[in-house]
Chains A and B, each alone.
Chain A
Amino acid sequence: MSVRRRVRAAAGGLCLLAALASRDHSRPAEAAAPPATGRAATAIGTCDGRQLGEWQFVAREQMRVQARGRSGNDWVGLTAATDGFHDWAPFDDFKTTICGALGIFGTFEPTREKEFLRFLPEIPEHDWNVILIPTANSIFDERFRLARRLMERGHEGDLVTCHGTPCFEAEVTPQSRLLKANAAGGWLTSCRRGQTLCTFGPWVGDGGHGYRPEIHPAERIWWRDGDRLKLIAVQDASQRFRDHRQFQWADTREPSRWHPWAAPSMQGEFRVAFEAAVGSAAPAEFLVEQMLDTNVRGVTPAVPAADMQYAFTHQGTDVGSVRVRLGLGATSERLELNLSTLDIAPDEVCLRPDGRTLQGYLRLHDVIGYRHQEGEGFNTFEVVPPPLLTPVPATAEPPCPACTASARDDARETLHVAVLIVAREELVDSSTTMSETVLADLLRAATEKSGFEPALARAAREKEQASDIVLQSARRFRLSVRPHYDGPRGERLERAVNKGDRESFRKLLAAAGAPVPETVQWDVRIQNYSQRTAEEPGRCRPDGDPHLLAGDECVIDLPPAAAPGDVVRVRATARLLDGQGQPIPGSTVVGERGGGASPAQQEIRLASHFIRAANVASRERILAWLAHAFAPTGDLVKAATAEDEVPVDLADLRPHRRSYHARMLRHGLVLAGVDQRITLDELRQFVEMAQLFADLPPLGDIPAARAVK
């Protein structure tokens, strides 16, 4: 007998033995259900603390589902994506999961008002806009609050609000087949408003909207529909995140595992948590139906059969089993499953220390997308998991067909107006200073905390080298104000605002029954922190032609009495007034006069001095200084630069929370350094984030930024 034949015979014998062995283990289950067509037995260990805590978190906070990237697809890094017109700056090194209640579900398609444009083929811009209100008192809400601190100053109005509550957008451009299937099947629609959804993807700031936080592209989305879990893995088809040349490479280096966020062969997985009692006669049973898939690729290891039973032994004793039945959903275009593209199997199964229960996940691993045009892929599943031994208390979420959401979408019926301010420092003194006194005064102006002068003065000295923090000053601020509209005809209003088209602006507002802003009213307060003077009124002097409204282009000059080394803080509030001098309300119900909403206004805080952050080295020095000065306990720098994510543990969330505080602070420094300046508001946010890292409050007590920059 040749060697090859001997090997084959031995392998065949082993398979036979394995089949016989697994048959014994699964015999009790077969009484209740048809026998599984494939079997496998695995020895498992005892769960460690990390496994227990992570499983609990996934089961309790993420609707039993965990989304992960694989083969480097979990890494986002520091490098922003760009298409030359917009950029998306990362807030975290890792792709992030955020769960929350669906506030708005919308789709965006570029308008084609000009007739001739309709002859052109469609631009691949059919976004899903999944707008979520992060779950209250959760790490998701904390991430959102932190991200809001990193927004551009004067752009609070760019935040999306859901009934007055700030919310964020998870955005993705699905492949066209998924768009159609979703619309036809009513999978993800606005009728799920209020229902909890989770999204996974890069946690970024959208530069087109003052770096407001979003998950973009949202590559994994899941929700519960009755006893079923709906799982969507989707590769973004907007052609914006798939090539390394579409990234705004700055002076930072990425580790070798970095690749474009939505590059083809996008590898990742859903993991659905399960638990089972040891010695249970029936296996924990999963039913997995593939609803629709396109451009999915082969995986390793592929599932051997569509009906598998997995038995688990612990120290030679049978402790339980899991059965996985795979099928095709009614919407699938396949006639039979392509097993070579499916890696669906139990993962990280372990016996809990109590010895009575085991826990684990069902892994649904996929590789999606090809390099060619329209090669973007997606994969959708419905999973019926086995019930948990201790069900998670959940609010009743009616399945979609029974949804009772109002047909009137509030966001569409109400016209919201916000005030955006763009500020630029001018008359910048070319000389620099490393004065600790100036830095301490700037810290006082930034933190606005009275009674902390000694601590701030000490913080100003907490530098490794005197040259770590270099300051520069400006004597003038140029402010531009633009009203920002959301709601009916919001895009057209935005275009009129951007063009300074006063006539169209008036007509559009008149059609909505909304008041027409005519002027910008400024309230300017100036305070010299070095001279410790009281706040004094100032003036924003109109400069140049107004863009749209009287007073929307103006400059604030620092008082001549302020010495060059004096730290002067400016608070400027812009309000919109109508022709009669009445404040414009922040929202108007279309078709109804009045409204009584709070006035549309925005405050911005500026200072005579800013910290220079010209390159990666200076940003690292600033991070080290913030760590020494405001977070002496814990290693903020190490946490901020770690290349591995700290696992989440429901029993003790602090290490995980600290790690993303640190990373988001580091990312904020990159974002702030775009103009090579760390300004007053940015400094304030960074100091507070460092303090939060050092002294984490309970999740319910996470402070909101006192003013978005």
Chain B
Amino acid sequence: MLDSSSLFVLGSPPSLWRRPIRRLSLPRGGVFCLALLAGAERASAQTIDPIFRSWRWTEEVTTARTFGMGSAITGLADDSAAAAFNPAGLATIPRAGELQFGLKAANTASLDNGDRIHNLAKGTTPASLALRLGTRVGLSYQFLELRSASTITFDDGRESGTLKTSVNGPGIGLGVRVSPFVNIGLSLNAYRFYINDGEYTRVTDGHPDRVVRFNSNGDTRVAGTLGALVKARELSYGLAFRLGRRWRARRTAIDPSTSLVIDEGTTFDVRSPSVLSSGIAWQPELRRAQSFLLSAQLDRVFLGGIEASPAIGIPFPASDYRMKSAFEFRAGGEVTIPVLGRWASHGAGRPNRLQFRAGFHHQPAGSFVYEGPDPIQQGLFPSAGARNLVSVGTSIGGVTMWRLSAAYRFGGDNRQAVVGVAIRYPGLFP
């Protein structure tokens, strides 16, 4: 991490500023890493207001193809969804490039703790335009939704309210083939944290005695993903690191019965965890137009870096609220079956390939657990379990030009349907 003391060089006498510059002479790759790590802040703090108990980090790719394979894409990274999880794959997308967009259907889920989450209908993420520039470079422009737009409806019998948030933003990605089999990549996204609606009310003895409101600060943070992809014939391996960032938000509280201001305005953070992701994919070369691939991915999600901050009016120490780092596992498969009703010259552009996918995603809790002695808080912030999600998907389209895909995921409290379109020419679709 760059120490802020290195900044003293500005305005210092020449005799002084020469030396630190020499000390900072780093390999080019090192500069790249430092630039990324410079964004890794101190451990930040998320509010322990109970309305945040169901607010979990669930970073995932929801483009229809990848979604259908459990988002196990780090080791595969063969389409423009790579911009999100492993931008090294951008260097492997055939010329001229690929355009990918889709729609994620709205859904509502009831959680075990009684909260309800309504995920809004949004575009799938990343919506991307990947282009090949020259022989070794792939470039993408993407819009990513780091955390899907959702509304949490919270009611524990004493407190009730809603929390509508999203974290998203545009970005660019770059993939470079550095040797015939090795690709590296970096994608940078400018994410903005939105609290579109955040308020809950506490009722004591039938009278509301506290209203807490949350507002986003309009923070935009640049987060990066650094990836590497090795493609060796039928096997490919991927390694990626996604840097966690924090966004500030503001909390105020009043007692509506007395109009007394309880919290004039404190700042709290939300933080995305850093993730180290590794994956492997196997796509054997079959003799005919059929093909299949298997992909698996293991992520270390550094949720432990997300700390709790005390909230005025909540009499429990923040240190009693913890999140633990966890492993996240994904696996997916895809089968391609030709459907050759007509030759291209007798029906150009007609679909001639059908694809089926399935995936599995073991997702850690990603929300606070109360570890203190208070039984009410224990009930509000229980030790949430991981989710096991299963997805299925299908595509129809041509070997090139267009592909229409759909996927559905289910498991635990999650039900999600997505559809998407991908366009590339003349390169072959994976």
Contacts and interface: CB of A to CB of B under 8 A. Distances in A.
A499 interface: no
A623 B344 CA distance: 25
10 contacts: A86-B344, A87-B345, A124-B96, A207-B343, A239-B426, A245-B336, A248-B352, A256-B287, A371-B231, A371-B233
Given A121-B131, A371-B233, A373-B132, A86 B180 contact: no
Interface residues of A, number: 40
Interface string A549-570: 0000000000000000000000
Contacts of A84: 344, 348-350, 352, 398-401
A474 B128 CA distance: 50
Interface string A227-243: 00000000000111001
Interface in B220-278: 231, 233
Interface residues of B, number: 44
Interface of A: 80, 82-87, 89, 120-125, 176, 207-208, 211, 238-240, 243-250, 254, 256, 258, 370-375, 674-675
Nearest to A370: B180
A373 B95 CA distance: 8
Contacts of B291: 244-245
Interface of B: 91-97, 131-133, 135-136, 177, 180-181, 231, 233, 285-289, 291, 336, 338, 340, 342-346, 348-350, 352-353, 398-401, 425-428
Given A84-B348, A120-B97, A121-B96, 15 more contacts: A80-B343, A82-B399, A83-B426, A84-B350, A86-B345, A120-B131, A125-B426, A176-B135, A207-B346, A208-B345, A243-B428, A244-B291, A245-B338, A247-B288, A249-B288
Contacts of A211: 345
A372 B426 contact: no
Nearest to A125: B426
A110 to B, nearest CB: 10
A249 B338 contact: yes
A124 B343 contact: no
Contacts of B425: 123
A122 B346 contact: no
Given A373-B132, A374-B135, A674-B346, A122 B96 contact: yes
B91 A124 contact: no
Contacts of B338: 245, 249
B356 to A, nearest CB: 15
B407 to A, nearest CB: 21
Nearest to B97: A121
B343 A85 contact: no
Contacts, number: 121
A176 B181 CA distance: 20
Nearest to A240: B426
Q: Which of A80, A83, A125, A675 has the most CB of B within 10 A?
A: A83
B289 A85 contact: no
Contacts of A258: 287
A87 B399 contact: no
Nearest to A243: B428
A248 B401 CA distance: 16
Contacts of A83: 344, 398-401, 426
Contact of B343 (A87, A125, A239, A370): A87
Contacts of B288: 244, 247, 249
A248 B341 CA distance: 10
Contacts of B349: 84-85
B426 A674 contact: no
A221 B171 CA distance: 46
B244 to A, nearest CB: 32
A373 B426 contact: no
Nearest to B233: A371
Query: Which 6 A-B pairs give the minimum distances between C-beta atoms?
Result: A207-B345, A84-B398, A374-B135, A87-B344, A249-B289, A85-B348
A372 B181 contact: yes
Contacts of B131: 120-121
Contacts of B345: 86-87, 207-208, 211
